[in-house]
Structure 1
């Protein structure tokens, strides 16, 4: 190849890069033919600028340094900086047409972004710079107006805001708040958004919610607390809105992402961040160059690694997540901000043998067969009223019933209404996504005397602010710790109007027993303290702010198969007051040897070996004995060693004795796929036949571990359904391929 050929090829590469840059500038609403907006190839004594972007008055506001495809655009920083400073342009873009870096060089390092910023974006940032104040000079309000009354920010809400202030002032732009249900996450973030607006750190915010009804609820809060900053709900098909705060579901925003440049939002809040469909969430959040705040009620030990990374809270050295701020349910109850609870366990003799799993939980279809039995449903209702009649009450207590399926919910509501004929069928109401007006139904349940009981399937486990609920009725079995704490959290809010200080869980499904949860009532705890019994002795709630999911477990669940051995070899356990490190495999071996020895002489271990259940007192005695300086065997260390974050002491004893097996790595992988798949399905709301086909697709992916193509529907497993022609008909022909592509990208590839 001649030098001329080489030069020509280099020239073409630069030309191609500029063609792409021109196109992407147009997409960001720049008129590249208008020299008052964009000029090219301008020179000065400090060099040459490939592009100069100008503000609405024709003044230089940003410089673009263009490089050919083979050159890392970030390598041109110094050259671009010299030129930008010489013409007083405040911002720099570095691009080869494919990648774009945005550098606000007076404030922070360059960041990779998805698009160029629009002229309005750059002018907005420039204006904010002129108005900016330190967060430290913005006072946290002594009171704020909400719900027709003035409220005082709680100490932990102030603490959360102060911690976020410190993080932002230190240059951090990603944060994660872990706050128990009922502690006022939305109020906290509304107050904090106001601080960001007042400090000149934000002009426009995005608030992502799980469901549109939660968006409506959020807007109601914002309209009261942030009345000077208008908020709008973004619906499907609706064009970009210019309000200060946009509230949207993830799928709606994802479908309209091309309407927004990377500089459009200054701060993004993600509510219930633990429910992230990681592939989609990552593409949405990384599209914007914004402060990123995640909020979740999920205990920090159960937030997955992807979520921690998404919000900049994953410690690579220690291989664990470190939330920016944590306020647990235990602290909330102890501090008097959350209601304590009592548990009534009622055995309805249901066997779950043969029930299959989907993700980390039971298959609803299989549960339907086992649970939705008329005689059992009637028994549940009768037992509930029998227990309620033992309590003093002036009127019926509001309750939420968690059912397995919509059919199950309908039958339970029928029996509740039959038991109270005087209310003419209005005593209990089914509230699901199929309800004609679910938001209206929830509003009636919250504000009116009837219905007294709301029967729900998945609709009322997150985000519903219903402090008047005094009873939680669990008829749906679950092995999902996240789902359990969400259901339980619906009763945790205090309500001064009815003098509510505690609530009751009616457990007809063995859920509280599975999670070793027991009544946690602050008044009974105070009574025990007076008697000299340590606080929390019998309250072995599985959700604690200091429970840590073992790094090995998370890593193995999300790492390619060939890397699993490497991860396991790195794992270690810290024991004792001095934090002595022990290899996790050695710790397992020592544990199993110790339990087998104790089984010969220790009555409590012998009792477990013989298949008997330990009482709460016996479990505590054994736990204390095993955690003595001689052994240092405890639930937290065993969970880490076995990489099984929801295991109980009994589980690990049975494993050591060889009478129970913990989940395999394969099962954990299937759980991970199932969790992502179910979250994706919830957002999409497919028709029943479509959902049936997609569940078969999921099972085929787990078996193959390879992306799914349309051709799979020609294979025998789908023949019984009618093959490819039938599947195309169910998905309206042209929608099938995009759905599979999104399923592969958002769920399978990220599992």
Structure 2
């Protein structure tokens, strides 16, 4: 008799009555070692049109921990009507995310135990009362990881916990734990690769905190190359270090502090007296963490590399979203292969990063080129060199005012059509271009600028007023500035969580730079409804999405000897040119002038032009012309697809693909819909598969219910409106078999269906609103009209069957 009762228990009952008691009896601490419903992913955001919705995700039923944030095992439970091992594959997926070797599946009768530490008996069945103790699993785990006795005090050091409930995400746990393992085993060069927006600084904080608290590392240096990176770190993630932390300023290293945050530029310079790092001994720091290590510290001959080499005895951890591998620069050559990598694609799939929609705009002169007339001079009277100018030249070698105007008009039109207050970054070729773009956008948005003159701001290294607005731009609570035009200053390190539009009007050929720029939009902020972003591309930069290096680790190519380099100023560009491009002999590369002052702010950037064949510098000339007819030839929209690629498809195509993934044919869909006791289950199932119901309503009409939306959009069937379906039922007058009260209720339910849809009448809440609330409360209506809840539910099932009868006459 008991076994029959057990078959009726829900999954939750099985966990409560059988699983948790077995765990408790084995000695697991329910307060610190057992967590239920552990949500490892946030749910991927699917974007179509102007809508973005999250897919629902399942949670791990139970995760067991050695200590908080040190996971050991996953338990996946199912109802007793299922076989005992049904949850094992689901558990294996969660275990992969958590990097744990122990997986248990159960239906309440016993456990299937998958033990990666025992290859000779990977899966065995054990009784409820034989569930392993915490000590047994920890001992097996330590052997599996090959931990030594010396490592254990470091590996078991607690994470920082402020009591707010904030805990590292699964990939942050892996990054932290793998780094701690590497350092505790004596590895002194460590590389972590984590996509922009995935919390590199928070991850670095937890690594430093644990090593510092374990007294494994006592003096720590956090290095960055921009003030904003250091200040954001000090004020946010690193705040718990409190009085032990300082920011190095004035070229003085104060030995009284243990945690030092510094700009490269504050520690060194071209003159010997500027090399502040030499004030302390080579063994002063025993841990150095380098943020954005793909930049200044990557090159062997970098002036900043000397800091790392001076403190060569220290453990050095490099953080980057874009490991730089070029002919002459290699992060992995210095740090070694990454101990952990979390990519943009993984972040989007997990729902921690925002997917993107790309709008590619093709301009006629970009595609066809522009050539001056013979003897034509520009606005400054300069004779324009006679050749064909194309997309690589515009706003670099030559400025065409009408092109700038067209780009600004397109940006403005997009914002007006979607959200004029959406935070927007416009990436321009240089500071001059950023200023002209700012002016064009100001003139096109007089109403917005009248409300606040900071609606459009140029935020570049040479503009103190603009730089002063950077904090306001990245602060979600500050409405202004809305649009920021920039060149280099905002390509990296700017934590603009609510940025919804990234405009590319800049020539980008460096994969590293492209990844960094895209990273400006990939952060998600649910509080401000920032789930996805748009890339408005005028320079074909998004073609780099198709490059296999976009979401992988670049291939390392260390082949160029120093003697082969003839023009140091353009070294990186020449390497890129040889490897990636083929253009005319006169080229331009962006080289910052007075790149940093003592505190690391970018002061100016401009273009240098040189002759490739000789390396001799040429006089800088940028022509400016107007009166050119410029037109948009095409605008096409591409979406981030399930396999991480950009696809151009209509919403109808997308919906059809999502539906066909669930149902092979129209007949199968109709049969499943009609057989479903409640239609909401099918609606939820399709939503999880990526069907965006709100977008379907926008495209096909708000008077259709989900059944007709799918039949029409996915299977090209003529639809019936909800009102037509309700009228067809009323004409048949099938519910005369019910009591007068029941007929009144069913008639009102039909009217509700016609007004708002099937979801509304499947909820008992419908009995609480007019006109049904006048018949009494929900229980009174069900009792007096139908005799009880089972009879009411049966009547509702019959009503739905009538609504979706196949012989319903169609409107077309």
Equivalences for 1:671-710 in 2 at 5 Å? Answer: 678=591, 682-683=595-596
1:443 is aligned, of 445, 467, 471, to: 471
The residue that corresponds to 1:235 in the other structure is 249
CA deviation profile, 1:187-218 (whole Å, cap 9, x unmatched): 11011110111111112111111212322222
Instruction: Please list every run of 5 or more consecutive structure 2 residues that lacks an aligned counterpart in the other structure.
Output: 1-149, 269-274, 372-388, 566-573, 621-812
Equivalences for 1:195-594 in 2 at 5 Å? Answer: 195-227=210-242, 229-232=244-247, 234-238=248-252, 240=254, 242-254=256-268, 255-275=275-295, 276=297, 277-279=299-301, 280-288=303-311, 289-299=313-323, 306-311=330-335, 313=336, 322-351=337-366, 367-369=394-396, 372-391=399-418, 393=419, 396-422=421-447, 423-424=449-450, 425-447=453-475, 448-513=478-543, 515-517=544-546, 542-545=549-552, 547-549=553-555, 551=556, 554-558=557-561
The structural deviation recorded for 1:665 is: 11
CA deviation profile, 1:371-401 (whole Å, cap 9, x unmatched): 643222221121123334444x4x6211111
Distance, in Å, in 2 between the alignment partners of 1:556 and 1:719 is 29
The structural deviation recorded for 1:323 is: 1.3
Alpha-carbon contact 1:298-1:482 (below 8 Å) kept: yes
- Secondary structure in structure 2 of the residue aligned to 1:172: coil
CA deviation profile, 1:320-377 (whole Å, cap 9, x unmatched): xx2121111001111111000000011123449799xxxxxx9999553556432222
Shift in CA distance, 215/439, structure 1 to aligned 2, threshold 3 Å: farther
Distance, in Å, in 2 between the alignment partners of 1:282 and 1:476 is 29
Shift in CA distance, 302/488, structure 1 to aligned 2, threshold 3 Å: farther
Distance, in Å, in 1 between the alignment partners of 2:240 and 2:397 is 47
Alpha-carbon contact 1:240-1:259 (below 8 Å) kept: no
Normalised by the size of structure 1, how large is the TM-score? 0.51
Alpha-carbon contact 2:193-2:338 (below 8 Å) kept: yes
The structural deviation recorded for 1:558 is: 4.7
The structural deviation recorded for 1:222 is: 4.2
The structural deviation recorded for 1:290 is: 0.8
Higher relative contact order (CA 8 A, sep 6+): 2
Shift in CA distance, 541/494, structure 1 to aligned 2, threshold 3 Å: farther
Shift in CA distance, 173/442, structure 1 to aligned 2, threshold 3 Å: same
Equivalences for 1:71-86 in 2 at 5 Å? Answer: none
CA deviation profile, 1:563-611 (whole Å, cap 9, x unmatched): xxxxxxxxxxxxxxxxxxxxxxxxxxxxxxxxxxxxxxxxxxxxxxxxx
CA deviation profile, 1:223-244 (whole Å, cap 9, x unmatched): 4343363232x23444545322
1:189 is aligned, of 186, 190, 204, to: 204
The residue that corresponds to 2:188 in the other structure is 173
The residue that corresponds to 1:611 in the other structure is none
Distance, in Å, in 1 between the alignment partners of 2:510 and 2:363 is 21
1:157 aligns with 2:182: no
Aligned residues: 428
- Secondary structure in structure 2 of the residue aligned to 1:285: helix
Distance, in Å, in 2 between the alignment partners of 1:266 and 1:160 is 20
Distance, in Å, in 2 between the alignment partners of 1:339 and 1:303 is 32
Alpha-carbon contact 2:504-2:538 (below 8 Å) kept: yes
The structural deviation recorded for 1:476 is: 0.9
Equivalences for 1:58-97 in 2 at 5 Å? Answer: none
RMSD, aligned α-carbons:
4.3
Shift in CA distance, 194/718, structure 1 to aligned 2, threshold 3 Å: closer
The structural deviation recorded for 1:542 is: 4.5
- Secondary structure in structure 1 of the residue aligned to 2:364: coil
Instruction: Please list every run of 5 or more consecutive structure 1 residues that lacks an aligned counterpart in the other structure.
Output: 1-130, 314-321, 356-361, 518-539, 563-643, 647-661, 705-716, 722-751
Alpha-carbon contact 2:421-2:479 (below 8 Å) kept: no
The residue that corresponds to 2:578 in the other structure is 663
Distance, in Å, in 2 between the alignment partners of 1:471 and 1:482 is 20
Distance, in Å, in 1 between the alignment partners of 2:364 and 2:254 is 54
Distance, in Å, in 1 between the alignment partners of 2:416 and 2:215 is 57
CA deviation profile, 1:241-271 (whole Å, cap 9, x unmatched): 5322222222321221321210111111111
Alpha-carbon contact 1:240-1:260 (below 8 Å) kept: no
- Secondary structure in structure 2 of the residue aligned to 1:252: helix
Normalised by the size of structure 2, how large is the TM-score? 0.47
- Secondary structure in structure 2 of the residue aligned to 1:161: helix
Alpha-carbon contact 1:339-1:502 (below 8 Å) kept: yes
- Answer 1 or 2: which has greater helix percent: 1
CA deviation profile, 1:296-324 (whole Å, cap 9, x unmatched): 1115766965422322x0xxxxxxxx212
Alpha-carbon contact 1:263-1:290 (below 8 Å) kept: yes
